[in-house]
Amino acid sequence: MGKDYEKLAPKYRLLLGPGPVEVASRVLNVMSNPLYGHLDPKFLEITNETMKLLRYTFQTENQLTLPMSGTGSAGMETVMVNLLEEGDRAIICVNGVFGERMRDVASRCGAEVISVEAPWGKVIDPEDVRRAFKEAPGKVKLVGIVHAETSTGVKQPIEEISQIVKEHDALMVVDAVTSLGGVDLKIDEWGIDACYSGSQKALSCPPGLSPLTMGVKALEVIDNRKTKVQSWYLDLSMIKNYWSKERVYHHTAPINMIYALREALLMVYEEGLDERFRRHQLNSNAFVAGIEAMGMKMAVEEKEYRLPTLNAVKIPDEIDDYQVRSYLLDKYGIEIGGGLGDFKGKVWRVGLMGESSKRNNVILLLNALGDALMQQGYKVDFRLAIEAILDIYDI
Ligand SMILES: *Cc1c(COP(=O)(O)O)cnc(C)c1O
């Protein structure tokens, strides 16, 4: 056992996949601080500050803004189980794996789900959402959409769809797992009623928490439910009484994860949202320029709909997906993501989020990828990639 343990001791990896991503040492360090009890006044101060920092990051005044225990999927499930009841109608937008997952979760709540679809790699067309409302046989309670579709690298414009949702007096639900802290996301200004994210993506924290925010309209819907939320663990009507003045025990808060999230959010605050979005865009632009200079293409054709946090690259025809990813991992200790669903074997997913979004990482990855491709006989001059990105970085 002892020897095995040593053998399994984690080694350094450069995480450039869809998450988890790099975590700053100051975030890892606070996780080893002594534990407080979850009702200790000192810990409650930390939770208060965490909520404040989350409001800053979500760009919202919403009182109910807190980290749910669990990963991003727990946030998705929390929103759906609290807002939907048996027989409700929901429009779910699907153009990738996470839209599919949202549709699955909504239908498990007993809702009648209407899908609005777009091909993988394309955005959802607001007119299709308008048509879905028109054709729906009755009242639609909510519309769910993914802001940053991590399976395809699509950045979905939110405002126009949110406007349509408002016109029909429905709730706007947004999955911001791969955008919060890396891509502009304005909860209040864009009229988003409920939104959730994950700690291990652009916030650059270990996995385990799901930041969530809900506005008053969504809270009213919860207050007026006819039935109890079917999930005891994710019932916000109880959880909100811990994350407020009442401080009623519901389940034990994951103390050390909250230390970590607070520290990661402090880093977001210190950098400033505008600067952080600029950095993510710059590093993504450089990466894309390098990929294109090497003769490859991005999976999302239209530039304005590409996510800076998750860069999906089309795998050249003659190249073996798995061989390249194993080579990067074995020779360089670099992890990138493979394709999911329809994109399996067809794209690489390169995460440049949070701490991973750095100039040195872009340069290293392009070189390493060039090397891996040459090993498979792909003709590429990756000096061209370096020239292309030096222009972008202006060095
Ligand atoms: C990662 C991700 C999720 C799920 O998050 P987990 O932390 O893996 O549970 C949901 N939606 C999107 C868009 C994601 O990228």
- Mean pLDDT by groups of 10 residues along the chain of 395 residues: 77 96 98 97 98 98 98 98 98 98 98 98 98 97 98 98 98 98 98 98 98 98 97 97 95 97 98 98 97 96 98 96 97 97 95 98 96 92 88 85
Residue 195 alpha carbon to ligand 1 centre in Å: 13
Read off the DSSP letter of residue 68: E
Determine the Cα–Cα distance for residues 237 and 3; give it in Å rounded to an integer: 48
Determine the Cα–Cα distance for residues 209 and 262; give it in Å rounded to an integer: 11
Tell me, using a 6 A CB cutoff, whether residue 151 lines ligand 1: no
**Which CATH fold topology does 273-393 show?**
Aspartate Aminotransferase, domain 1 (3.90.1150)
CA-closest residue to ligand 1 atom 6:
72
Based on the number of CB atoms within 10 Å of its own CB, is 322 exposed (0-12), middle (13-18) or buried (19 or more)?
A: exposed
Determine the Cα–Cα distance for residues 282 and 358; give it in Å rounded to an integer: 9
Q: Considering only CA atoms, which of 106, 90, 99, 142 is closest in space to residue 121?
A: 99
CA-closest residue to ligand 1 atom 15:
150
Residue 72 alpha carbon to ligand 1 centre in Å: 5
Q: Is 273 helix (H, G, I), strand (E, B) or coil?
A: helix
Determine the Cα–Cα distance for residues 319 and 13; give it in Å rounded to an integer: 24
Tell me, using a 6 A CB cutoff, whether residue 154 lines ligand 1: no
Tell me, using a 6 A CB cutoff, whether residue 178 lines ligand 1: yes
**What number of CA atoms fall less than 13 Å from residue 93's CA on the CB side?**
32
User: What are the beta bridge partners of residue 175?
Assistant: 146, 196
Residue 149 alpha carbon to ligand 1 centre in Å: 9
Cα angle at 51 between 48 and 55, to 5 degrees? 140
Residue 177 alpha carbon to ligand 1 centre in Å: 6
Provide the pairing of β-strand 334-335 with 310-314: unpaired
Based on the number of CB atoms within 10 Å of its own CB, is 367 exposed (0-12), middle (13-18) or buried (19 or more)?
A: middle
Tell me, using a 6 A CB cutoff, whether residue 198 lines ligand 1: yes
Give the per-residue pLDDT at 1: 65
Q: Pick from 73, 102, 197, 261 the residue to mutate for probing ligand 1's pocket: most ligand atoms within 8 Å of its CB.
A: 73
- The sign one gets for the Cα dihedral 367, 310, 343, 121 is negative
Determine the Cα–Cα distance for residues 242 and 28; give it in Å rounded to an integer: 26
Q: E-strand spans in the chain?
A: 14-15, 64-69, 89-94, 112-117, 142-146, 148-149, 154-155, 171-175, 194-196, 209-214, 310-314, 334-335, 347-351
Read off the DSSP letter of residue 101: H
| Residues in CB range of 177: below 8 A, 6 or more apart | 72, 75, 98, 148, 150, 196, 197, 198, 201
Residue 97 alpha carbon to ligand 1 centre in Å: 10
Do residues 114 and 136 lie in contact, with contact meaning Cβ atoms separated by under 8 Å? yes
Token digits for 289? 């320029």
Determine the Cα–Cα distance for residues 75 and 196; give it in Å rounded to an integer: 5
Tell me, using a 6 A CB cutoff, whether residue 88 lines ligand 1: no
Could you state, in order of their start, the residue ranges of all structural domains in the chain? 31-269, 273-393
Give the per-residue pLDDT at 8: 86
Q: Count Cβ atoms below 10 Å from residue 75 Cβ, excluding itself.
A: 27
Residue 197 alpha carbon to ligand 1 centre in Å: 8
Q: Pick from 15, 21, 69, 71 the residue to mutate for probing ligand 1's pocket: most ligand atoms within 8 Å of its CB.
A: 71
The CATH class that applies to domain 31-269 reads alpha beta
- The sign one gets for the Cα dihedral 40, 43, 45, 51 is negative
Read off the DSSP letter of residue 328: I
Tell me, using a 6 A CB cutoff, whether residue 98 lines ligand 1: yes
Tell me, using a 6 A CB cutoff, whether residue 351 lines ligand 1: no
